[in-house]
């Protein structure tokens, strides 16, 4: 058993809390002996923490078929009032696009991307995870897995079993890292 700890950082953007919730479940799938997992909002994802990451996982909501924009984030805040939705504490953070602009370039650190989006054909809904994955690779990260989506219904509630699927995805990323690093997690 190796004594070297593996650091995983999960960065989430979330307006109504679903992506935040999924991030916590991914963490629970990853969180086994020898792995330290930090789940942080975009506003808390500072360079010192990221520099120590062996695996960076980034997720955000799909807005207008893609990653959020300043306009879509404002629309989401306005819609929360109308639709009786609770805003996540991270809703007033910067969006992932601004965060990526500031993200240091690395040399092949492992990464993975996820999003939340409405349940339906991805062709029609779009998926923010593809944009997130592109930003990660542009910054020098290497994708450990395909981008993954977790689904909400039209009332912005997670579809049944999506939280459990997120835990399973976290466990599969842990297994992939295990194979890659060739040491026991
Ligand atoms: C302004 C706005 C635009 C949206 N556009 C899309 C979209 O194009 N495709 C989609 O699947 N979901 C769309 N959604 C639904 C979001 O994906 C959903 O609210 C989000 O996944 C919930 O995550 P959160 O609770 O972390 O904010 C949109 C939501 C808002 C507020």
> Residues 1-43: pLDDT tens digits?
445 788 999 999 999 999 999 999 999 999 877 889 999 999 9
Superfamily of domain 6-181: Flavodoxin domain (3.40.50.360)
Residue closest via CA to ligand 1's atom 6 equals 63
Rounded to whole angstroms, the maximal C-alpha distance in the chain is: 53
How many angstroms is it from 82 CA to the middle of ligand 1? 15
* Strand 55-61 relative to strand 142-143, pairing: unpaired
Mean pLDDT, residues 144-150: 98
| Closest ligand 1 atom number to CA of residue 60 | 26
Give the nearest ligand 1 atom to 152 CA.
21
Q: Which atom of ligand 1 is nearest to the CA of 66?
A: 8
Closest CA to 88 of 47, 42, 126: 42
pLDDT digits (tens, 9 = 90+) for 34-67: 889 999 999 999 999 999 999 999 999 999 999 9
Whether the Cβ atoms of residue 58 and residue 136 lie closer than 8 Å to each other: yes
């Amino acid at each position: 058993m190796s004594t070297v700890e593996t650091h995983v950082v999960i960065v989430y953007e979330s307006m109504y809390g679903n992506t935040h919730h999924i991030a916590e479940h991914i963490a629970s799938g990853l969180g086994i002996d020898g792995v330290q997992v930090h789940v942080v909002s975009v506003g808390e994802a500072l360079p010192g923490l990221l520099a120590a990451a062996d695996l960076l996982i980034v997720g955000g909501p799909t807005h207008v078929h893609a990653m959020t924009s300043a306009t879509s984030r404002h629309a989401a805040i306005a819609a929360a009032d109308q639709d009786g939705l609770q805003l996540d504490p991270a809703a007033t953070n910067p969006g992932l696009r601004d965060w990526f602009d500031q993200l240091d370039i690395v040399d092949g650190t492992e990464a993975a991307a996820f999003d939340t989006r409405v349940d339906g054909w991805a062709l029609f809904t779009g998926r923010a995870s593809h944009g997130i994955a592109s930003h990660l690779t542009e910054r020098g990260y290497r994708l450990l897995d395909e981008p993954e989506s977790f689904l909400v219904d039209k009332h912005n509630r997670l579809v049944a079993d999506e939280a459990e699927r997120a835990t399973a995805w976290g466990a599969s990323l842990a297994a992939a890292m295990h194979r890659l690093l060739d040491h026991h997690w």
